[in-house]
Amino acid sequence: MNTMVLNDGTVIPTVGFGVFQIPNDGSTYRAVRQALEIGYRHIDTAAAYFNEAEVGQAVRESGIPREEVFITTKLWVQDASYEAAKKAIQTSLDNLGLSYLDLYLIHQPMGDYVGAYRAMEEAYKEGKLKAIG
């Protein structure tokens, strides 16, 4: 699989499987499992998609080592402040059942996105987030 290197040295697969609009009714789980089985190694989700838990379950149950699957998720606008972002990061980690995220993005730069980014920088330094943007 082709990859590229982000500014901080993080290696990201250039092709990913996005789960926007896949229902949280087992459909996301099945889709992600199938995507992983056919070779995808980058899964893109977001708090606003309400399917992080199924993404995480599929990744954990895939048998593929965690370090071989790149997970991107995103902060939604209602969490765009320092304190709310800190909670949202942990909520995404808990929903996914993972100890770290490969890439965490601000979904839309609205609200206190500067405060949110400060929280993301702290989580990056703590090792909870491998790359941020």
Active-site amino acid positions: 49
Token pair listed for 93 = 């980690």
Q: How far is CA 54 from the centre of its chain?
A: 12
Token pair listed for 118 = 């400060």
> Is there a contact between 47 and 86 (Cβ–Cβ < 8 Å)?
no
Q: How far is CA 50 from the centre of its chain?
A: 12
User: How far separated are the first and last CA of the chain, in Å rounded?
Assistant: 23
Q: 3-class SS at 130?
A: coil
Q: 3-class SS at 67?
A: helix
